[in-house]
């Protein structure tokens, strides 16, 4: 069971309706997308720093 499905009762007990769950899903999706984008940018930065370090050693 995922952590999001464990949280559903907490949301229904707060009177969340279908549209509210859709909004929560959008927030979770956006958070995941931000994480993926940040990871890709960090990887590019680390590769650039590695290349720069190699060039400086020459």
Q: Where are the domains of the chain?
A: 3-57
From the centroid of its chain, how far is CA 14? 25
What's the pTM? 0.63
- Cβ atoms of 21 and 11 closer than 8 Å: yes
Residue 2 binned pLDDT confidence (cut-offs 50, 70, 90): low
The span from the CA of 5 to the CA of 11, in Å, is: 10
Asked if pLDDT for residue 31 goes beyond 90, the answer is: yes
């Amino acid at each position: 069971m995922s952590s999001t499905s464990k949280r559903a009762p907490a949301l229904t007990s707060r009177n969340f309706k279908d549209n509210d769950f859709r909004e929560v899903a959008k927030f979770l999706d956006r958070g995941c997308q931000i994480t993926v984008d940040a990871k890709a940018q960090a990887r590019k930065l680390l590769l650039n720093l590695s290349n720069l370090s190699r060039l400086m050693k020459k």
